[in-house]
Structure 1
Amino acid sequence: MLRSRYEAVIVGGGHNGLVAATYLARAGRRVLVLERLGHVGGLAVSAQAFPGVDARLSRYSYLVSLLPSKIVTDLGLKIELRRRRYASYTPVGDTGLLVDNGDAARTAASFARVTGGTGELEAWRRFYGMTAEVARRIAPTLLEPLADRAATRNLVGEEAWRDLFERPIGEVVDERFADDTVRGVVLTDALIGTFADPVGPDLLANRCLLYHVIGDGTGDWNVPVGGMGAVSGALADAARAAGAEILTGAEVLAVDPSGEVSFRDALGEHTVTGERILANVPPAVLARLLGDAEPATPEGAQLKVNMVLSRLPRLRDTGVDPAAAFSGTFHINEGRDRLARAYQEASAGRIPSLPPAEVYCHSLTDPSILGPELRRTGAHTMTLFGLHMPARLFREDPAGAREAALRATLASMNEVLAEPVEDCLLRAPDGSPCLEAKTPVDLENEAGLPGGHIFHRDLSWPYGEPGRWGVETAFERVLLCGAGARRGGGVSGIPGHNAAMAAMAPLT
């Protein structure tokens, strides 16, 4: 039965809100989670995107890197994350660069074939040796109160501080690497979900790269077995088992800094009070709920395409099995120069003529997301993430621009394949191809993300005012617990953990 007073009211039932709810409920707090949609999990969910097709796609979020094993252990989550055998494959004419996690010799031979020597591989190992050490040192601190800038500099060391925190990452990559393809592979981690110039003085691309390489101390991007819905499902089970109340179909209408939360469900409008309010929503949404009529809107910059294939496409590189190429990150026109050209075109208000993108097949690592018949026939899911597709490109004509962006992106993909990917699409029972595209404007309209920004706002450095958790707002009772918190972004649970820790401190 719904109470009128709680020790914590959590606005938004995404994965971070569920993490916070579980920690707080296990500590004996009375917790209420209010979720606008009819299900929990936010964008970390699985869905049968195509009617009559027995495939559970991770429709929005799709890989897990930042989720700390400590949270999994603390909450007793029954989830499995599988490491991908192949890190990446990048087509280059009739050959390609294959990074094989399980075969260093094969990776070395691929580098030599594409770059013409051993220098780029040696530079690659030096660079990622540095980021691996940064990951090992920084990752444990993400679940602790913030350190300041000086302490973080001392922690990571001078070389890493200079190249990752002070100099534009584009300059660093150009200095460390000579090959356009290799430069591009490194830079893509600085641009996923972030519209930025890698040589820009704002260092936004540096921050994006940092979060892409420090996940759980290894930087590995793992496949959630059962899809993203399995992760959110396990979190919801843990929260309910701990005693948290979860109410879906409950749209929050207003938040008062005193602790009052007004919401609407099928029965009408209600008000509850929380000693602490944990906002698992973008900062722009929280500002509106607090009464700001014109909160600043961030800008997302991605095209997400979900597909089910009847079979994997053939490659121009006959020396690599498509199952190897597509089980890791398959880079499409993501060389350094093409990334720069696409950024310039998008900055000028045009859909890139040759959009950079990357794809991977979840079902190659985790076939459980496919029904038995699809597995038997060799079908696979394919997820495409397109870069440099800012929301501004889709404002004036959302449907028309989405179609144009999809058409250009598929053409870009087909340029590096031996056959059109459209020829490999599975057909649903009604004859339609199993293909859907989501733009930032779609995410804004369907998921309530201002600007369609998947990180809720631009990523921040993982340091700040010592002793704080990076979740605090201007109001003592109101805390951020979503991706927009400091040390937020991605499917991590880190802001949820940190908001729970902050909420258990006494009010002053």
Structure 2
Amino acid sequence: MTRMRDVVIVGGGHNALVAAAYLAGAGRSVTLLERQPHLGGAAISAEVFPGVEARLSRYSYLVSLLPERIRRDLRLDIALARRRFSSYTPLPGTDRGLLVDTGDADATAASFAGIGAASDLPAWNAFGADTARLAAAIWPTVTDPLLTRAEARRAVGDDRVWAELVEAPIGQTVEHRFADDLVRGVVLTDALIGTFAPVVDPTLAANRCFLYHVIGGGTGHWDVPVGGMGAVSGALARAARDAGAELITGAEVTSVTPDGEVSYRTGDAEHRLAGATVLSGVAPFELARLLGERAERPEGAQVKVNLLLTRLPRLRDASADPAAAFAGTFHVHEGFAALDTAHASAAAGRIPAPLPLESYCHSLTDPGILSPELRAAGAQTLTVFALQTPDRLLEGRDPDTARAELQDAVLASLDSVLAEPIANVLMTDAAGNPCIETATTRDLEQSLRMPGGNIFHGPLAWPWAEDDTPLATPAERWGVATAHPRILLCGSGSRRGGAVSGLGGYHAAMATLES
């Protein structure tokens, strides 16, 4: 028997929940199907280590691109905490580092001078003003139908900013505007998170990644979700249920047809739904598989490591407070030259050594994710994200061996800039095992069905349409169209998807309501 629904949503990540909440709230009959026993996809919190009461943001961990409009429309009870310290970057081989303190301009200036980069401070401030101009122009458009490229350029209103941040390789712009290698790398890392590219990338994939990292909220700030990422998905799930959406977990979708029929399995039972519209919250590659079509498998390029520490580690730089250094983004071996060398190593099939990575401590900003006992004992979390580690490094290799080697590379890189090995402060779980969890691109593909471990579900697109792009239908205008009129994208693989933003779900809901 086939049940009829106005909307069937495949996948239960945060974007899918946004779409479900909007459409059910508009009176549509909505059924959402999620393969896992829980909702939220990559935006979840979990007690990762047995017997240790710490709820970690297991995959995604910071929020920048979630519009206030979605929070307001869906009445989401979500708190985001701003971090005072932007970043700390040790200068490898020394006892010095660069601390960017958004609350103290004089301290930041002194830190630039301390690493011999005082002459780059004016360039740093000017570049920040340029990215702010780009953000102020583009961010307000993300909850509207797509602009064309020409319209976006007019909105920015500054040909120099457009040329340097959009048209020229972002690494070329950074190299031109900054003199110090470490400063150049700190600026450039936003272009390489989850994106495998050289520092000067002629394909402009790095530019697109950079743009999404600097426009969020019109400021580019990345905030800590209070209660962990699970608090975000939990609020969205409540909004969808309260609106009347049917949310089914443990539902493995086995096929989708272009005319809107969705087959799925719960346990040993087979079911079918027919939707006037089908929204796909899964990656486009995965949707193609469900449709019986062929698509190019994307590639991710990161390793995520979660650690629980008895305390923060000591730094080589005695002048830097670890509580400040780890509160923002802690950059490791992310100088401009090091990032390019790492890319060349990975392109040749070798794990980069040293491995570029960045980390931050959620519990410094939001200690409530730890039990009272852990807080009293001084425990802290540490989230580490390694760059320039493409999925191809795992090709044809035993997954467990590859994961162990990548984890060792992460720890070795981290140790090289600390005054003590990270193992000295690593907590153990109830069974006496170290509290460390490593997720490779293959782990993401297996657990979350992210093809190639690509955290964006595929290559990022500009948040506008090219001037010759057809924009005749609602799905085209909102950037969620597929080759099949009854099937729309509602996940990170939509034109303005990627990161925890809800935009894919919002755009799909708007296109559906306009149809």
Confirm or deny a common fold (TM above 0.5). Answer: yes
Shift of 1:266: 2.2
State the 1:115 CA deviation: 2.6
Q: Give how far 1:217 is off.
A: 1.0
Structure 1: 4+ residue segments shifted above 3 A? none
The answer on whether the counterparts of 2:170 and 2:207 sit within 8 Å (CA) in structure 1 is yes
The one-letter code sitting in structure 2 at the alignment partner of 1:473 is T
Gaps of 5+ in 1: none
Aligned to 2:303: 303
Cα distance, 1:429 vs. partner?
Answer: 1.7
Q: What letter is aligned with 1:448?
A: R
Residue 418 of structure 1 is matched in structure 2 by 419
Tell me the residue number matched to 1:175: 176
Q: Give the aligned partner of residue 510 of structure 2.
A: 501
Mapped pair 1:471 → 2:480? yes
Segments of 5+ residues of structure 2 without an aligned counterpart are: none
Q: C-alpha distance in 2, partners of 1:486/1:208?
A: 13
Match for 1:403: what amino acid? A
Structure 1 residue 267: Cα displacement: 5.1
For residues 374 and 122 of structure 2, the distance between their equivalents in structure 1, rounded to whole angstroms, comes to 42
CA distance in 2, matches of 1:290, 1:429: 45
Contact 1:395 1:441 (8 Å CA) reproduced: no
The 5-angstrom pairing of residues 8-87 of structure 1 reads 8-87=7-86
Deviations 1:215-243 (A, max 9, x none): 12111100000000000000000000001
Separation in structure 1 between the aligned mates of residue 236 and residue 393 of structure 2, nearest angstrom: 36
Distance 1:116 1:56 in 2: 39
Mapping for residues 69-468 of structure 1, pairs under 5 Å: 69-92=68-91, 93-117=94-118, 119-156=119-156, 157-266=158-267, 268-292=269-293, 294-397=294-397, 398-464=399-465, 465=469, 466=471, 468=477
Distance 2:504 2:64 in 1: 15
- Displacement of 1:404: 1.2
Task: Report what 1:484 is aligned to.
Answer: 493
String of CA shifts for 1:450-498, please: whole Å, max 9, x gaps: 1000000010011114561110111111000100110110000011100
How many residues matched?
Answer: 503
The letter of the residue matching 2:38 is: H
Deviation of 1:401 after TM superposition, in Å, equals 1.6
- Residues 329 and 358 in structure 2, CA contact (< 8 A), matched pair in contact too: yes
What letter is aligned with 1:487?
R
Instruction: Report the CA distance between 1:116 and its aligned residue.
Output: 4.2
TM-score, length-normalised on structure 2? 0.96
- Alpha carbons 1:198, 1:206 under 8 Å: kept: no
Q: What is the rounded CA distance, in whole Å, between the counterparts of 2:430 and 2:46 in structure 1?
A: 17
1:418–1:272 Cα change, 3 Å: same
Distance 2:117 2:223 in 1: 31
Query: Is the CA contact (8 Å cut-off) linking 2:2 and 2:272 kept in structure 1?
Result: no
Change over 3 Å in CA distance of 1:366–1:169 after alignment to 2: same
SS at match of 2:230: helix
Structure 1 30/302 Cα, relative in aligned 2: closer, same or farther at 3 Å?
same
Equivalent residues of 2:198, 2:339 under 8 A apart: no
Equivalent-residue separation in structure 2 for 1:493 and 1:116 (angstroms): 39
Distance 1:450 1:424 in 2: 35
Query: 1:3 Cα shift?
Result: 8.1
Q: What secondary structure, in the 3-state scheme, does the structure 1 residue paired with 2:275 have?
A: strand
| Alpha-carbon distance, 1:106 to partner | 0.8
Q: CA RMSD in A?
A: 1.1
Instruction: Output one character per residue of 1:26-56: Cα deviation in whole Å (capped at 9) or x when no partner.
Output: 1111111000000000010001110001100
Q: How many angstroms apart in 1 are the aligned matches of 2:22 and 2:137?
A: 25
- Per-residue displacement from partner, 1:290-310 (whole Å, max 9, x unpaired)? 111x42100001010000000
- Residue type matched to 1:475 in 2? H
Task: Confirm or deny: 8 A CA contact 2:199 2:336 kept in the other structure.
Answer: no
Q: Distance in 2 between matches of 1:114 and 1:491?
A: 35
Q: CA deviation at 1:143?
A: 1.0
**Superposed displacement of residue 114, structure 1:** 1.3
3-state secondary structure, aligned to 2:224: strand
One-letter code aligned to 1:138: I
Q: Distance in 2 between matches of 1:339 and 1:198?
A: 7
